[in-house]
A and B are shown apart, each in its own frame.
Chain A
């Protein structure tokens, strides 16, 4: 590694050390021990860091919970945790089982009332959420919907808007507002009871307010600001809502992040998601293993899973792929296309019984530089 990197890292602490009231001797001793510590953490050349990373992650992962849910922010939100979540990230599933977002607010919107209002405009609200009763009026052949007055006031939805939302969704319909009720009428000569029944079920699902797919949105107060947690994720639509701090909104849907923010943002998210999941289970894996995995998963410019259809399937060596899964398929493929294998990897060399090119196997001759080289050479020749 570059000497400059070491200097950069030490630079972070150098100022603090210089300001402290230690003696000059102590200061230099502290700096030296810091530097030693840092350089001691280097991997040696040829170290099989991938294997170490794999074991460092998978061993603690076996200790995490298998199928449990974690209640984020106290109420309501069940977000996948533990092993299922880790698998989800490493397998690069297109959609997590529980997509979730964390949304911060702009400074001027950081009050309880405004936060609640924004939460209301994010959460998906269908007609069924804001009505108390829907019934068929068989005398007039209409459907009556009784609205929850308190709730629509709280969410600041106007009954007119509901009618126009319904009209956009369902054609040939008339809606009139009578106090707390909305009466829907079908524009048709002969209306059957069956028509009314279907209408009633369709009405329940009409989308009135909020962002589709975001089923929950709750407000939580952290030490100095209000944060919104959602179940369901839609970065682009949320970003259009007034008062959101776009630069800090986060999602746990990695593919959505790639599309909206690019591959580097996805890499950061992979690292933070795995770290958070492991931390939540009380596991403290060194972040450098996760960095290595995230770098490897994103090196093709897109997210690659770790498994048969991802990284292991795209290895260049035929024997390494055959060793992993679907042995016959890979060997037949190689035979048909006349592929060759350079035998550079570990598994290939284990197969043929040669020293693998890792660790001390990487170098072929080692000379002790301290002793006189002439003597060593002579011994070798004899």
Chain B
């Protein structure tokens, strides 16, 4: 992006139809997710720390973001991404 460009503000991003709900999991929930799928954090899909949808959350590397999507096939589906 060019220098000096103005970004959308956080509410505008959050309320956009294309952006599903993002939440950061606490340590307990994170462990539960990893245990449920029997994986390590590195095996999850990634999301960038500076990603527009989560940059206001103040996330750190290794956090897990829970994404609640509206799905065409399954009503509501959850997806997990780890912050890099």
Contacts and interface: CB of A to CB of B under 8 A. Distances in A.
* Mutual binders A and B: yes
Nearest to A250: B18
Contact of B16 (A8, A258, A265): A265
B73 interface: yes
Given A246-B12, A299-B45, A260 B7 contact: yes
Contacts of A265: 16, 18-19, 52-53
Residue among A236, A240, A261, A262 having the largest count of chain B Cβ atoms under 10 Å: A262
B81 A261 contact: no
Contacts of B6: 236, 240
B67 to A, nearest CB: 6
A370 interface: no
Contacts of A9: 73-75
Given A246-B8, A301-B47, A301-B84, A261 B13 contact: yes
Nearest to A245: B17
A61 B1 CA distance: 33
A240 B47 CA distance: 27
A252 B54 CA distance: 22
A12 B75 contact: yes
A238 to B, nearest CB: 11
A262 B8 contact: no
Contact of A8 (B19, B75, B81): B75
Contacts of A268: 18, 20
A259 interface: yes
Contacts of A88: none
Given A5-B74, A262-B19, A263-B53, A301 B8 contact: no
Interface string B51-84: 1111000000000000101001111110001001
B22 interface: yes
A8 to B, nearest CB: 5
B48 interface: yes
B30 interface: no
B8 A260 contact: yes
Nearest to B49: A301
Given A5-B74, A236-B8, A300 B46 contact: yes
A343 B8 CA distance: 46
Contact of B15 (A235, A247, A263): A247
B5 interface: yes
28 contacts: A8-B75, A9-B75, A236-B7, A236-B8, A239-B8, A239-B12, A247-B12, A247-B16, A247-B17, A258-B52, A260-B52, A261-B18, A262-B22, A262-B52, A263-B53, A264-B19, A264-B22, A265-B16, A265-B18, A265-B53, A268-B20, A287-B72, A291-B72, A299-B46, A300-B45, A301-B45, A301-B48, A302-B48
Interface of B: 1, 5-8, 12-13, 15-20, 22, 45-48, 51-54, 67, 69, 72-77, 81, 84
Given A246-B16, A262-B51, A299-B45, 4 more contacts: A8-B76, A9-B75, A257-B18, A269-B18
